[in-house]
Amino acid sequence: MQRFRVAMFFWLKKLLGFWLMPLQVCVVLLIAGFWLGRSPRRARIGRGLSLTGIALLWLFSNKYVSLALVHPIEARYPAIPELAAGEPPAPALAACRYVVVLGGGNGNSPGLSATNELAPSSLSRIVEAVRLLRVLPDARLIVSGPGDGHHPTHATMLSRAAESLGIDRSRILFIDQARDTEDESHATARLVGTAPFALVTSAWHMPRSVALFRHAGLTPLPCPADFTAHTDDDFSWNDLFPDLPSLERSTWAVRERLGYLWIWLRGKT
Give the model confidence (pLDDT) of 35-79 as tens digits: 998 888 888 999 999 999 999 999 999 999 999 999 999 999 999
Task: Find out whether 97 and 122 touch, Cβ atoms under 8 Å.
Answer: no
Report residue 120's pLDDT band, with 50, 70 and 90 as the boundaries.
very high
Q: Which of 153, 172, 148, 152 is nearest to 162 (CA)?
A: 172
Distances (CA, A) of 54 to 33, 60, 78, 135: 11, 10, 35, 49
Residue 85, pLDDT score: 75
Q: Which of 79, 73, 97, 77 is nearest to 198 (CA)?
A: 97
Separation between Cα atoms, residue 92 and residue 205, nearest integer Å:
21
Residue 135, pLDDT score: 94
